[in-house]
Amino acid sequence: MTNEAKHLVLGSDEAETAIESYINMGCPFCSTYIEVIDEIFAPYIESGKVKHIIKHVDRTHGSLLKGTVAGTNLNVDEPEQAYKDMKHLLETRPEWIGSFEETLMKLEALGLHEQEGHGARSKEILDEAAERNVRVVPTVFIDGDKFDFPVKGENAEIAEAFNKKLESL
């Protein structure tokens, strides 16, 4: 592995806009966020206008710790599959968040296992999150600027905020 840790990246490196999403799969608000932005970002990613960089922030309290365990199993070298696995885990979050045994059973059922290089990636993300004052997940940056949106809002509110922002770019 190089000195720069790999992240889950969707879209072209040549995209004019970079969106960075700090998430944790144990977080219910991240589940809603990914559900909402999935359809909104897709045409921008497919057309080469947006690169979406998803950074899983490891946390050690409550359900976020189970999300951290799940995050160690995403294979960022296969971004499309990793994104599919992440979406599935977020959609089925209530099924596996109850205990570590449930978490591990879910990961095993999906054929996921801990990925090499996760430690370096986790440290880099935690250091970067601290430097950027990322206190909650999800937190989003668009072209390096923090984007405020109703994190705890309804799906329609979140969608409206992102649609307006992307249309203005």
Residue 135 lies in a domain: yes
Instruction: Supply the CATH number for residue 59's domain.
Output: 3.40.30.10
> Which secondary structure element, helix H or strand E, spans residue 77, and what is its range?
none
Rounded Cα distance, 17 and 167, in Å:
12
Answer whether residue 57 is part of any domain. Answer: yes
Q: Are 41 and 87 in contact (CB under 8 A)?
A: no
pLDDT band at 3 (very low <50, low <70, confident <90, very high): very low
Considering the domain boundaries, does residue 66 fall inside one? yes
What is the tens place of the pLDDT at every residue in 36-73? 999 999 999 999 999 999 999 999 999 999 999 999 99
In a domain, 2, yes or no: no
Task: Please tell me the total count of domains within the chain.
Answer: 1
pTM listed for this prediction:
0.95
Q: Looking at the predicted structure, is the pLDDT value of residue 152 above 50?
A: yes
Condensed to tens digits (0 to 9), the pLDDT of residues 80-112 reads: 999 999 999 999 999 999 999 999 999 999 999
Contact 78, 44 (CB under 8 A): no
In this structure, is the dihedral angle defined by the CA atoms of residues 18, 127, 110 and 25, taken in order, positive or negative?
A: negative
Say whether 106 sits in a helix, a strand or coil: helix
Question: Which residues constitute the domain of residue 96?
Answer: 8-162
